[in-house]
Structure 1
Amino acid sequence: MEVYQVPEMTRCRLFAASLRGSAQQWFSKLGPANIRTWRQLEDLFVRQFQSTLYYSPHVATLANIKQREGEPLEEYFRRFNAEVPKVRGASEETIKNFLIAGLKERSKFWKSLQASESRTLDEFYEQVEPFKRVEKSMRELKISENYRDKIDRSSSPDERKKTYLRSSSPKKSARGKETNKDSGRPYTSKWQTHTPMVASIDHIYATYAGKRVFRKATPLTDYNKRDTSKYCAYHEATGHDTADCRQLKDEIETLIRQGKLT
């Protein structure tokens, strides 16, 4: 309005027309002829709603953010960086210093910084990336090892075969293929399209199996005609490989669409 040199009283009327909610209620309660200048309206408005203003905390509050016991570097950096936009006076050097101060002492990355500290914030972020990747790989490896240990402790394929033959119906026959729930017909996918994956479905299953996000698989049919050289970890049975399991592929797609896998 100043660029177009809009008269003050016109500004007052246009501003009043833009008010909504509590601001509109406040304006309607003002007495007639209370506002004679734009500056007067400005002062009244700021004085009324000053308590709703958000005051950014000082950058020194970042010193309160510390890496927790057992917390991965990636999670610590995410928590810290989420608070940075909320503070005032945060220079790159200050951010870098507070990030370093909050690190867990005697950790591998902390020791690396003692040997060669980064000169800039960008260099600091580059320096931490390899340590983040190593931590992530170690977590995934641990999950995979725990899953394999669980498989090793479970019953053998022969024992599972006996259990299956006792509980399955002799009428179902699909030559060892996957079947749709409550029918003996070969399994057909419930999704027409699937989200592109950055890893194989067997790797995804091994990574997340310990978190119990997957639903129980529908049992396979006709054990006698299955390829016993192939094993599906999702079904816990022979017949096909985990990487080729269409039920698992559908289950992963369902979890992605539900926001449970990213």
Structure 2
Amino acid sequence: MEKTVLESSAKLIITDDIKYLDDYLPISDVIRSRATSITNGFDEEDFQGLPEPDPRRKFTVSYIGSLYGQETFDLLLQPVRIWRQAHPDELLDVEFVYAGSQSYYFHRAGAFPFFLRDAGYVTHRQALLLRMDSDLQLFAQPRHFKPYFYSGKIFEMLRAGIPILAATRPDGTVTNLLLETNAGFTAAQRPEQAAAILKIQFDKWRRGEHWEKPDMNLVQRGISPTLGGYSRGNDRYPLS
């Protein structure tokens, strides 16, 4: 049935980059010629009228959204625990903010080496406010995810303009996205590497150094297929 639908369609639209088409969908050359990529993105109007963040006394790290199981949760917590082993006093100035429907991961994990602010399930607007009221956004994907898998929330994280620390594949689309826009760092799902990046960002925060925001012209114009535009073959078309 799927083959019949594909063969009878005038256009095939995927939400991943076009270069990954053959990785997950075995198709003929004819069907491939009809394929177009339109990735997920963000709605600019959602970010209009948001208040400025309140001054903070702690280094605020946030994870907003769903967790992909215990492995993802461990990828978030292990780096912080490694950081604490080397610099236990610094964690007194760290606040971890979580918002989502899976607070039970935190509840059953026991004591934390930081102050935890569990916002629970919040509205979309509240989630955006928490993102933009952070000093560092955390992003994590399990190791079995294929390289073409974005996770839709990465685009809103990008638009928030707060640096991103991503535990994801070094050869994946999210890594390429962060490098292309100067939006953050990839720890390649290695807790030791993520702990080192956390320490560096904390030291910058303590010195009062500000993060250079990502290239918002790229983010808002969507000139790349990984930034909200769409592509067919090697051609690129901005959405605005």
- TM-score when normalising by structure 2: 0.22
Q: Which has the larger radius of gyration?
A: 1
- TM-score when normalising by structure 1: 0.21
Specify which structure has the bigger relative contact order, considering alpha-carbon pairs within 8 angstroms and separated by 6 or more residues.
2
Q: Kindly indicate which of the two structures has a greater share of residues assigned to helix.
A: 1
